[in-house]
Amino acid sequence: MRANSETPEHPMEALLRMDRIPHIWCSTCGIGTAVSCFIEALKKSGIDLKKVAVVSGIGCTGRVAGYVKLDSFHTTHGRAIPFATGLALANPELKVVVFSGDGDLIAIGGNHFIHAARRNMNLTVICVNNFIYAMTGGQLAPTTPILANSSTSPYGNFDAPFNLPLLAASSGAVYVARWTVLHVRRLSKSIGEALNKRGFSFIEAICPCTTLYARRNKLGTGLDLLKFYHDNSEIRHGADPRELDIGFQKKIIVGKFIDYEKPIFFDRYNEGMRQALGDRFVEYKLDSN
């Protein structure tokens, strides 16, 4: 809520649940920046906001669905993508955005992630990667770099992390980009491109977690992390996804890596059924209920 009528309206107010502000994210957390980039992209996209649905899983980023003033669904841990699959299939007019964290989407939800990409389900997936399970207090994630410390890898992590753009690209995503939340304009532009894409689009947003990841690993403040991103990010559009591993406090390659067209699930379904069944095929319409 605005403090008083004198306070100017925030340009994103129309798309936020102001009655839920202040949010739960820590000071200098990057999730809010990722949300701002999303809202900026959504406003510019011209997409009918009534037809946008946001689905989140569990975790810090899982709370995004609770703050955006859109049809928004805060689901179970790891299941945002299959929930979104049901929404997107049952109402093909919806633009369904999955907004969740690395642990939610890639660990417990990893199977759903690869299968939705394989099917080229019409979803935009924004994955905020802070390298750690933040909501539960800083445990090891499937993205935690080797040697990084977490509350369940107190001697350092020796477990190989996923390279998320490679996972998305090799599973069939038609759009794959990675930015840090320092790259606000580029991140927002990529989200805009992804929103206008038909099929499974994936954006990884590297994000500081000051409270847990940075503190445990003695990386300084949120500002220090942004400075690190500034000094150590290299924009390399079209880079081979196999070269996008992220080492502990090593260079982060960002950019747009994959962008091409192929039929989405519904295209194949409708075309295939029409060929197989001819006039007997009845195309799905929500109204037929």
Which residues contribute to the site for another protein (CB under 8 A)? 17, 19-20, 49-51, 53, 55, 65-66, 69-76, 78-79, 81-91, 93-94, 111-112, 115, 265, 269, 273, 276-277, 280-286, 288-289
Residue 153 per-residue DSSP state: B
Closest of 71, 60, 14, 64 to residue 35, by C-alpha = 64
Token pair, residue 237, equals 């559009």
- Residue number with CB closer to another protein (91 or 196): 91
Q: Shortest Cβ distance from residue 67 to another protein (Å)?
A: 9
d(CA 236, CA 230): 14
- Residue number with CB closer to another protein (251 or 284): 284
Closest of 65, 76, 72, 55 to residue 23, by C-alpha = 65
Q: Shortest Cβ distance from residue 145 to another protein (Å)?
A: 28
- Residue number with CB closer to another protein (81 or 181): 81
Give the number of C-alpha atoms closer than 13 A to the C-alpha of residue 86, restricted to the C-beta side: 7
Q: Shortest Cβ distance from residue 76 to another protein (Å)?
A: 5
Q: Shortest Cβ distance from residue 98 to another protein (Å)?
A: 11
- Residue number with CB closer to another protein (14 or 223): 14
Q: Shortest Cβ distance from residue 149 to another protein (Å)?
A: 29
Closest of 16, 98, 6, 18 to residue 58, by C-alpha = 98
E-strand spans in 131-195? Answer: 175-180
Q: Shortest Cβ distance from residue 239 to another protein (Å)?
A: 29
- Residue number with CB closer to another protein (92 or 156): 92
- Residue number with CB closer to another protein (74 or 198): 74
Phi first, then psi: what are they for 202, rounded to 5°?
Answer: -135, 130
Closest of 17, 51, 9 to residue 35, by C-alpha = 17
